[in-house]
């Protein structure tokens, strides 16, 4: 009898449950992303009020109420879409998933409009002063995450319309929604730091 | 009648695959064992390359007013040497060992994400090649620069556009950015594998300590590497689009870079040393014929090191002028690291105490590791005290200290791992005679070089200087340090020859040459692609002990 054979004799293998590897991996990813955002947030906080020249945040920033409401609401709509998916209601899933995408698109569009206003009207670029440096990098880092999420959401919708998403893919969708909730949570921090504390 | 399929001949000798086929196999493989060995082999190649760079540095410093290389070449040498050793020797060895051993030790057939695993390896290799390509690529169109010359921690404002022209710093940034993504991929994979791929009965507190330590290392990577990535992105923005994060003339802060770098940098040194702890924690019990002393405490101490490691970074920055509160905090947190580390050393000693010690090669490495790491820890405590640090910082004392941890500690632990698991990976034993030559030569060389190096540091010799005048009392120590290098090179040559030769000519190892207790020794050497024919079931922390001693199994006492 070799070592490998004999190891197999006991009966503990029944009722052996382990966490899903997908969930562990996405949790790890979110942990790393949190560490990265922390550094950018710290840099932003550190440089508040240290710009040598204008424009300063108080002069040019406007609180993005609508886009914030849209992004936070998209966390709810993606949850509703997931519930619909679990009930196997394909129509409901597609509807709420599409609404989530729409809300993400509104957020991105309003960020684009804000940046255009700052760059064209107020001549604030990343190289103007420390406010420009930290503002565009922190908000831009978050926006790039929204773009990644937007792309993932759109891909899922296309696949769903093609009929290639099966009930077994539930956990994959759940992972996308975890990521999306994370992006939303980061926005709460970015919003507080940039538009509340930073002004 | 069975018709013979030309691709799967039923009879006749199987032709050994051509070189192209085998190389192609390496490029497309997602097998954790092949990737693990590729990581380790690449790391050893870079170890030799960066080691030769260090030899040139020592040659330059052997005599006062020496001019073996030009000053700017010297700056590139120590930068590329440091960067390579940390990111392209240390990190891939961590990834390689965990890749090869974690699935085998927990009774899994592969990592949780095999393709992500391959992705991680190729990102690491691409990053490493970017660094070395800088010698050719960095001058670019402007004709300025060559390999990076800003030191491995690249302090601002050296990295600013004004002071680092050409693209050398950009290559340094991109190289670390890319290989950092690879390291993250590997870390995510190890964590997911440990949590989700354990064989039935392999509870967390039954895992081999090696797996526990690799889990902690991977978790540390998850929180330590992203700050570096963030700082690198900021530096790229500074250099390419005119941002001013680290540009003091626009109000930016050069000290902020130091904080961001060391928030990564200090956990990083624990990321490098803990895999050596992992090897030692497996090897000492097997060669003392006793289970590890204080398993649960060892796990706790490692987790504690993981947590403390993220709160000590500014002990690299005492001389920068922080507040006394800041200094005190970082002195205390640094001293705190000595507690879990001390626990580990005492537990290893406790494992050996009263054991039936077999002085095989892996155990000899562990013994050298134990007392060398102790000395390295003691100089660490000296440097962790802010007042002494003000005197010693950026001197050769610091250089001696961290080489003592990384060579005397990490590398000796890795040597132990190589001697211990080589039979598993290849099915052949390493030659004992060559191994003893390697250890003896390297041991002598290491102590000649690095014991002596503390002294010019105490006498005030700054690190990174190109050369020095005679008459400061540094000459003899520098000469002895440089002579030690010759012994180290001879030692490494013995190891390299041993590794290459024994693949074919080594004594056959069998499945379990050391009479081990963990699951990797339950399968064949080398293990088949699927690792285990049937997934093993585990009832205690030493499954193979249970198997070999059915009359007195461990699980009776759990």
Within a domain: A156: yes
Rg (chain A; Cα; Å): 22
pLDDT of residue B319: 92
Using one digit for the tens of pLDDT, what is the confidence trace for B422-466? 999 999 999 999 999 999 999 999 999 999 999 999 999 999 999
- The verdict on residue A88 lying in a domain is yes
CA B494 – CA B492 distance, rounded (Å):
5
| pLDDT value of position A30 | 97
Rounded Cα–Cα distance for residues A121 and A80 (Å): 40
pLDDT, one tens digit per residue, over B536-556 is 999 888 999 988 888 888 888
Asked whether residue A56 is assigned to any structural domain, the reply reads no
What pLDDT score was predicted for residue B14? 59
Q: What is the pLDDT confidence band of residue A7, given thresholds at 50, 70 and 90?
A: low
C-alpha R_g of chain B: 24
Q: Which of B192, B229, B523 sits opposite A25 (nearest CB)?
A: B192
Can you tell me the distance from the alpha carbon of A4 to that of B533, in angstroms, rounded to the nearest whole number? 7
- Rounded-to-integer distance, Cα A37 and Cα B285, Å: 42
Closest CA to B179 of B243, B130, B116, B237: B130
* Mean pLDDT across B307-327: 93
Residue A174 lies in a domain: yes
Interface contact flag, B222 A32, Cβ < 8 Å: yes
Q: Do B227 and A24 touch (CB under 8 A)?
A: no
For residue B213, give the nearest of B290, B273, B269 by alpha carbon. B273
pLDDT value of position B556: 81
| Contact call for A7 and B193, based on CB within 8 A | no
User: What would the pLDDT profile of B35-48 be if each residue is shown by its tens digit?
Assistant: 999 999 999 999 99
- Report the residue count for chain A: 199
- Average pLDDT over every residue of A79-103: 95
Using a CB-CB distance cutoff of 8 angstroms, which residues of chain B are in contact with residue A18? 195-198
pLDDT tens digits, residue range A160-187?
999 999 888 999 999 999 999 999 999 9
Distances (CA, A) of A1 to A9, B36, B544: 12, 30, 13
- What per-residue confidence (pLDDT) applies to A1? 40
> CB neighbours of B220 closer than 8 A, spacing ≥ 6?
B267, B270, B271, B274, B306, B309, B310
Kindly report the nearest CA distance between residue A20 and chain B, in angstroms.
6
A33 located within any domain: no
Q: Among residues 20-59 of chain A, which lie with CB inside 8 Å of chain B?
A: 20-21, 24-25, 28-29, 31-33, 35-36, 38-40, 43, 46-47, 50-52
pLDDT of residue B454: 96
Whether B448 and B484 have beta carbons less than 8 Å apart is answered as yes
Chain A residues close to B245, C-beta within 8 Å = 43, 133-134, 137
- Both tokens of residue A18? 């382990």
Q: How confident is the model at residue A90 (pLDDT cuts 50, 70, 90)?
A: very high
Q: A8 vs B536: CB contact, 8 Å cut-off?
A: yes
Backbone angles phi, psi at B274, to 5 degrees: -65, -35
CB contact under 8 A, B252 and A133: yes
> Which ipTM did the prediction report?
0.92
**pLDDT surpasses 50 at B1:** no
What mean pLDDT comes out for the span B383-387?
94
Number of domains in chain A: 1
Q: Is the pLDDT of residue A3 over 70?
A: no
Across-strand partners of B462? Answer: B395
- A40 SS3 class: helix
Of A16, A21, A136, which has the smallest distance from its Cβ to B200's Cβ?
A16
- Rounded Cα distance, B257 and B39, in Å: 30
Point out the residue among A6, A19, A40 whose CB comes nearest to the CB of B230: A40
Structure tokens at A52: 């040598």
* Residue appearing with tokens 């030559």: B437
Cα separation, B539 vs B555, whole angstroms = 6
With a CB-CB cutoff of 8 Å, which residues 153-192 of chain A face chain B? none
CB within 8 A of B208, min separation 6: which ones? B105, B282, B518, B519, B541
Asked if A175 and A26 count as a contact pair (C-beta separation under 8 A), the reply is yes
Q: Is B533 helix (H, G, I), strand (E, B) or coil?
A: coil
User: Backbone phi, then psi, for B54, in 5-degree steps?
Assistant: -65, -35
Going A162 to A166 to A169 to A173, the CA torsion angle's sign is positive
Confidence of residue B137 (pLDDT cuts 50, 70, 90): confident
- Does pLDDT of B215 surpass 90? yes
- Asked if the structure places residue A10 within a domain, the reply is no
**For chain B, which domains are there?**
28-510 (1.20.210.10)
Within 8 A of A7 by CB-CB distance, chain B residues are 519, 522, 534, 536-538, 543, 547
User: Comparing B180-189, B321-330, B396-405, B547-556, which segment has the lowest mean pLDDT?
Assistant: B547-556
Is B241 in Cβ contact with A127 (below 8 Å)? Answer: yes
Exposed / middle / buried, residue B240 (Cβ in 10 Å: 0-12, 13-18, 19+):
exposed
Residues B88-92 have a mean pLDDT of 96
Is pTM, for the whole model, over 0.90?
A: yes
- Interface test mutation site (partner A, options B245, B313, B542, max chain A beta carbons within 10 A): B245
Structure confidence at residue A167 (pLDDT): 87
- The residues that bridge with B508 in the sheet, in sequence order, are B428
HSE on the CB side for B338, CA within 13 Å? 16
Please tell me the distance in Å from B222's CA to the nearest CA on chain A: 5
% of chain B at pLDDT higher than 90: 87
- The answer to whether A140 faces chain B, any CB pair under 8 Å, is no
* Interatomic CA distance for residues B137 and B118, integer angstroms: 27
Residue A2: list chain B partners with CB under 8 A.
511
State the average pLDDT over residues B282-287: 97
For position A80, which CATH number holds? 1.20.120.80
The per-residue pLDDT for B290 is: 94
In whole numbers, what is the pLDDT of chain B averaged over residues?
Answer: 93
The range of the structural domain enclosing residue A179 comes to 64-123+141-185
Q: What is the mean pLDDT of residues A99-109?
A: 97
Which pair of structure tokens corresponds to residue B21? Answer: 């086929």
Cβ atoms within 10 Å of B420's Cβ, excluding its own: 25
Would the CB atoms of B256 and A2 count as touching at under 8 Å? no
CB-CB contact of A103 with A96 (8 Å): no
Are B318 and B390 in contact by the 8 Å Cβ rule? The answer is yes
Smallest Cβ distance to A126: which of B187, B242, B523?
Answer: B242
CB pair distance less than 8 Å for A4 and B112: no
- Assign 3-class secondary structure to B481-530: HHHHHHHHHHHHHHHHHHHHHHHHHCCECCCCCCCCCCHHHHCCCCCCCC
Q: What is the mean pLDDT of residues A66-95?
A: 95
pLDDT at B552: 87
Burial class (CB in 10 A: 0-12, 13-18, 19+), B458: middle
Pick the residue of B119, B198, B244, B539 with the most A CBs within 10 A to test the interface with A by mutation: B244
Neighbouring residues of B5: CB distance < 8 A, sequence distance ≥ 6: none
pLDDT greater than 80 at residue A55: yes
DSSP string, A11-30: STTTT-----HHHHHHHHHH
Cβ-Cβ contacts under 8 Å, B256 against chain A: 43, 46
pLDDT of residue B403: 96
Q: Do B112 and A9 touch (CB under 8 A)?
A: no
Of B231, B234, B243, the CB nearest to A127: B243
User: What integer pLDDT is reported at residue B553 of this predicted model?
Assistant: 87
What pLDDT, on a 0 to 100 scale, did the predictor assign at position A9? 47
CB B2 within 8 A of CB B10: yes
Where does the pLDDT of residue B11 fall: very low under 50, low under 70, confident under 90, or very high at 90 and above?
low
Task: Quote the CA–CA distance of B269 and B165 in Å, as a whole number.
Answer: 30
Q: Provide the pLDDT confidence category of residue B121 given band limits of 50, 70 and 90.
A: very high
Distance separating alpha carbons of residues B121 and B330, to the nearest angstrom: 35
**Chain B contact for A10 (CB, 8 A cutoff):** yes
User: Are the beta carbons of B113 and A12 separated by less than 8 Å?
Assistant: no
Higher confidence at residue A8 or residue A97? A97
Query: How far is A54 from B283, CA to CA, in rounded Å?
Result: 62
Q: What is the pLDDT of residue A72?
A: 96
């Amino acid at each position: 009898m070799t070592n490998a054979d004999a190891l197999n004799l006991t009966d503990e293998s029944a009722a052996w449950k382990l966490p899903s590897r997908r969930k562990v991996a996405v949790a790890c990813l979110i942990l790393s992303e949190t560490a990265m955002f922390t550094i950018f947030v710290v840099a932003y906080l550190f440089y508040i009020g240290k710009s040598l020249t204008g424009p300063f945040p108080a002069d040019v920033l406007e609180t993005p109420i609508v886009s914030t409401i849209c992004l936070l609401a998209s966390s709810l709509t993606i949850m509703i879409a997931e519930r619909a998916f679990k009930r196997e209601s394909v129509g409901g899933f597609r509807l709420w998933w599409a609404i989530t995408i729409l809300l993400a698109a509104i957020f991105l569009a309003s960020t684009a409009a804000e940046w255009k206003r700052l760059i064209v009207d107020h001549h604030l670029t990343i190289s103007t002063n420390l406010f420009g440096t930290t503002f565009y990098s922190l908000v831009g880092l978050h926006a790039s995450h929204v773009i990644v999420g937007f792309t993932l959401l759109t891909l899922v919708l296309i696949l769903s319309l093609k009929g290639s998403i099966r009930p077994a893919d539930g956990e994959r969708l759940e992972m996308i929604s975890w990521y999306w909730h994370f992006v939303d949570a980061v926005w709460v921090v970015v919003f507080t730091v940039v538009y509340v504390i930073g002004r | 009648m069975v018709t013979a399929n030309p691709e799967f001949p039923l009879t006749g000798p199987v032709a050994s695959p051509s070189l192209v086929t085998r190389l192609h196999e390496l490029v497309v493989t997602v097998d954790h064992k092949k990737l693990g060995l590729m990581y380790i082999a690449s790391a050893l190649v870079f170890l030799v390359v960066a080691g030769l760079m260090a030899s040139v540095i020592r040659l330059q410093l052997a005599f006062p007013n020496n001019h073996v290389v030009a000053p700017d070449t010297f700056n590139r040498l120590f930068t590329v040497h440091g960067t390579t050793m940390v990111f392209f020797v240390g990190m891939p060895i961590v990834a390689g060992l965990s890749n090869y051993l974690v699935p085998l030790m927990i009774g899994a057939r592969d990592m949780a994400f095999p393709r992500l695993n391959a992705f991680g390896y190729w990102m690491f290799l691409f990053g490493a090649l970017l660094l070395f390509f800088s010698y050719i690529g960095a001058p670019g169109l402007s004709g300025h620069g060559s390999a990076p010359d800003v030191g491995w921690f690249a302090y601002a404002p050296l990295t600013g556009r004004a002071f680092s022209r050409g693209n050398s710093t950009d290559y340094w940034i991109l190289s670390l950015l890319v290989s950092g993504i690879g390291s993250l991929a590997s870390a995510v994979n190890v964590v997911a594998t440990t949590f989700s791929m354990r064989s039935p009965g392999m509870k967390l507190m039954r895992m081999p300590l090696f797996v526990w330590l690799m889990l902690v290392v991977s978790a540390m990577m998850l929180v330590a590497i992203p700050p570096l990535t963030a700082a690198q992105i900021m530096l790229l923005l500074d250099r390419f689009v005119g941002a001013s994060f680290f540009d003091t003339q626009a109000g930016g802060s050069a000290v902020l870079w130091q904080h961001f770098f060391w928030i990564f940098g200090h956990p990083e040194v624990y990321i490098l040393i803990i895999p050596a702890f992992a090897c030692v924690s497996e090897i000492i019990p097997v060669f003392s014929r006793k289970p590890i002393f204080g398993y649960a405490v060892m796990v706790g101490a490692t987790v504690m090191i993981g947590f403390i490691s993220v709160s000590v970074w500014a002990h690299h920055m005492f001389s920068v002028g922080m507040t006394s509160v800041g200094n005190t905090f970082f002195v205390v947190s640094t001293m705190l690291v000595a507690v879990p580390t001390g626990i580990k050393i005492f537990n290893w000693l406790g494992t050996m105490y009263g054991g039936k010690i077999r002085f095989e090669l892996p155990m000899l490495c562990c013994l050298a590791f134990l007392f060398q790491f102790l000395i390295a820890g003691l100089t660490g405590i000296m440097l962790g005290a802010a007042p002494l640090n003000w005197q010693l910082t950026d001197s050769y004392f610091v250089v001696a200290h961290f080489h003592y941890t990384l060579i005397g500690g990490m590398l000796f632990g890795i040597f132990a791992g190589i001697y211990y698991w080589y039979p598993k990976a290849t099915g052949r034993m390493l030659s004992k005679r060559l191994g003893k030559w390697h250890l003896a030569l390297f041991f002598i060389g290491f102590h000649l070089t690095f014991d002596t190096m503390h002294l010019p540091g105490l006498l005030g010799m700054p690190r990174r200087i190109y050369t020095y005048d005679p008459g400061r009392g540094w000459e003899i120590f520098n000469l002895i340090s440089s002579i030690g290098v010759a012994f180290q090179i001879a030692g490494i040559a013995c190891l390299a020859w041993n590794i290459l030769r024994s693949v074919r000519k080594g004594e056959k190892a069998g499945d379990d040459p050391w009479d081990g207790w963990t699951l990797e020794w339950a399968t064949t050497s080398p293990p088949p692609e699927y690792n285990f024919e049937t997934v093993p079931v585990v009832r205690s922390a030493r499954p193979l002990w249970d198997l070999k001693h059915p009359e007195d199994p461990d699980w009776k006492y759990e």
